[in-house]
């Protein structure tokens, strides 16, 4: 069975500092990886997907198949980045849902 691990429950950094939220996965096949974000009092929304190799709100994430990781990075944190971040995996193909990590609560201090 697949699994997603986010080792940090809470990450606190100062505004302007770099941010890295870690995500490791285990899956024998070829997964699709996502980062979802949940801002306070808002619904869960997609932030990034590995397949599109995009940068959203200054965040990037690179899939490293050798290390089975999909870490989320931002060079300069902003206060509005404070939120709950979830890494998620979808098995390639099929209708089934996502397997989520337990989430990392990111707090950006002024």
Partner 1 sequence: DAGITQSPRYKITETGRQVTLMCHQTWSHSYMFWYRQDLGHGLRLIYYSAAADITDKGEVPDGYVVSRSKTENFPLTLESATRSQTSVYFCASRDTGGAYNEQFFGPGTRLTVL
Residues that bind partner 1 (CB under 8 A): 6, 32, 34, 43-46, 49, 51-52, 86, 88, 90, 95-103
CB of 48 to partner 1, least distance (A): 10
Nearer to partner 1, 15 or 22 (CB): 22
What string of H, E and C letters represents the secondary structure of the chain?
A: CCEEECCCCEEEEECCCCEEECCEEECCCCEEEEEEEECCCCCCEEEEEHHHCCCECCEEECCECCCCECCEEECCCCHHHCEEEEEEEEECCCCCCCEECCCEEEEEEC
Q: CB 109 → partner 1: shortest distance, Å?
A: 23
The CB-of-45 to partner 1 minimum distance in angstroms stands at 7
Please, which residue, 13 or 98, has the CB nearer to partner 1? 98
């Amino acid at each position: 069975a697949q699994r997603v691990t986010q080792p940090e429950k809470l990450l606190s950094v100062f505004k302007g500092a770099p941010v890295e939220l870690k995500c490791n996965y285990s899956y024998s096949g070829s997964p699709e990886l996502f980062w979802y974000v949940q801002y306070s009092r808002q619904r869960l929304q997609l932030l990034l997907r590995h397949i599109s190799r995009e940068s959203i709100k200054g965040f990037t994430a690179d899939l490293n198949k050798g290390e089975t990781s999909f870490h989320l990075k931002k060079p300069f944190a902003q206060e509005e980045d404070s939120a709950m971040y979830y890494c998620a995996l979808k098995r390639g193909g099929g209708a089934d849902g996502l397997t989520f990590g337990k989430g990392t609560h990111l707090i950006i201090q002024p």
